[in-house]
Amino acid sequence: MSDNKVNITDPVSGKSLDLPVHTGSCGDPVLDISKLHKELGYFTYDPGFSVTASCSSEITFIDGDQGILRYRGYPIEQLANHSSFIEVAYLLLYGDLPAPAEFRKFEHDITRHTMVHDKLNTFLKGFRYDSHPMAIMSGVVASLAGFYHDDFDIKDAEERDLTAKRLIAKMPTIAAAAYRHHVGWPTAYPRNSLNYTERFLDMMFSVPAEPYKINPVAARALDLLFILHADHEQNASTSTVRLVASTGANPYACISAGIAALWGPAHGGANEAVLDMLNEIGSVEHVGKFIAKAKDKNDPFRLMGFGHRVYKNFDPRAQLIRSACHDVLDDLGIKDPLLDLAMELEKIALEDDYFIERKLYPNVDFYSGIIYKALNIPTSMFTAMFAIARTSGWVAQWLEQSAQGGRIGRPRQLYTGVAERDYLPIDKR
């Protein structure tokens, strides 16, 4: 890490303190404030954790000003063009690209863990038919803790590895089952002869009445989206997973908490919200009205799929998805007016001072829904798709944290409530 220091002096007490500066392999240096309270009596205040590094990590690097995203050092563009989701999942978990035999073993292990205990299906069927898939997924994944708890030893690296594989393997099975529960179709079991994304499409759309033919364009498009959504350093859901994991909680409960955090429209839920927004806008003539709403401080409406806490120039994932969107629709022979609408919305927003000044650009969620729609995936499943992909990042981060050990995550606060008062019995109030 490094050895520079920043000296700060408290004007009140006159005491001064050297704060160590840590320099990572890339990115801005980080001030180590862990001794600040002990030495000077101050906490730091950073709502939304905009400038706080909560951990050190070797997994994913983002440079928001330059639009750089790398998994384990590999640029996202190279992975998107040459890799597969399963290879990326291996990379995230173990740090390097797999050799052929390692890849075969990993893919085999994932394939062998795709089934879920039949009792889990009973639990899933208890949900109302119209429950949101994310509600089902967070509930069902948390309930996996009930199946793998008593004999799980978090200190055993092999058991942690098995858990990581189980989670990556079972997530598509659970997501597809949530969808089938909604449409009233019988459970589809995973087919081991297929690869990860093909298997998911098969579990989503095959019915007992007739054979289902997987479209390779759809499978590849899905694989690309999974690669682009696989990890994104310490975002809200990953930080949630790490925080819950810091208590020593069961890993399935940790990932379930991540799913819950991802569901919000400011995070992964934005992909669903973008499609709803595009449908609500309806046609190009209404774009101006919605841009005006997004700029109006008295209107809670935001342009969904726009803006990012870290990217202030462009989101490299959005650029890749935008171009994939054209290719996928062309290859599938689909003409979707929502794509024209999205492009017009993007064009008008990017020329508008409000968006320019605030550095608001399309993010990963802006175009992904148009691809999902082209693959016949219903809007309510969009965030579940994100959850399937992000599970690889969550478990990689969980493995890293578990191996590092460390303390329970426990932020402090700036208390602004009543300082102290005496209790009054109810008849005296």
Residues found near ligand CMC in the complex (CB under 6 A): 48, 235, 266-268, 270, 294, 302-309, 358, 360, 363-365
Least distance in Å: CB of 294 to ligand CMC? Answer: 4
Catalytic-role residue among 202, 223, 231, 365? 365
Q: What is the 3-state secondary structure (H, E, C) of the chain?
A: CCCEEEEEECCCCCCEEEEEEECCCCCCCEECCCCHHHHHCCCCCCHHHCCCCCCCCCCEEEECCCCEEEECCEEHHHHHHHCCHHHHHHHHHHCCCCCHHHHHHHHHHHHHCCCCCHHHHHHHHCCCCCCCHHHHHHHHHHHHHHHCCCCCCCCCHHHHHHHHHHHHHHHHHHHHHHHHHHHCCCCCCCCCCCCHHHHHHHHHHCECCECCCCCHHHHHHHHHHHHHHCCCCCCHHHHHHHHHHCCCCCHHHHHHHHHHHHHCCCCCCHHHHHHHHHHHHCCHHHHHHHHHHHHCCCCCCCCCCECCCCCCCCCHHHHHHHHHHHHHHHHHCCCCHHHHHHHHHHHHHHCCHHHHHCCCCECHHHHHHHHHHHCCCCHHHHHHHHHHHHHHHHHHHHHHHHHHCCCCCCCCCCCCCCCCCCCCCHHHC
Least distance in Å: CB of 297 to ligand CMC? Answer: 7
Catalytic-role residue among 181, 308, 340, 353? 308
Q: Which is nearer to ligand CMC, 190 or 307 (CB)?
A: 307
Least distance in Å: CB of 229 to ligand CMC? Answer: 8
Q: How far is CA 261 from the centre of its chain?
A: 9
Q: What is the 3-state secondary structure (H, E, C) of 59-82?
A: CEEEECCCCEEEECCEEHHHHHHH
Q: Which is nearer to ligand CMC, 214 or 385 (CB)?
A: 385
Q: Is 63 designated active site? A: no
Whose CA is closest to 233, among 43, 18, 383, 397?
Answer: 397
Q: Which is nearer to ligand CMC, 22 or 302 (CB)?
A: 302
Q: Which is nearer to ligand CMC, 190 or 362 (CB)?
A: 362
Cα–Cα distance measured from residue 167 to residue 11, given in angstroms and rounded to the nearest whole number: 52
Cα–Cα distance measured from residue 68 to residue 284, given in angstroms and rounded to the nearest whole number: 32
Backbone angles phi, psi at 289, to 5 degrees: -60, -40
Least distance in Å: CB of 295 to ligand CMC? Answer: 7
Least distance in Å: CB of 334 to ligand CMC? Answer: 24
Least distance in Å: CB of 123 to ligand CMC? Answer: 28
Least distance in Å: CB of 262 to ligand CMC? Answer: 7
Q: Which is nearer to ligand CMC, 107 or 231 (CB)?
A: 231
Whose CA is closest to 341, among 376, 366, 317, 311?
Answer: 366
Least distance in Å: CB of 308 to ligand CMC? Answer: 5
Q: Determine the residue with CB nearest ligand CMC.
A: 307
Q: Is 286 designated active site? A: no
Q: Which is nearer to ligand CMC, 308 or 322 (CB)?
A: 308
Q: Which is nearer to ligand CMC, 71 or 306 (CB)?
A: 306
Q: Which is nearer to ligand CMC, 181 or 322 (CB)?
A: 322
Q: Could you list the active site residues?
A: 308, 365
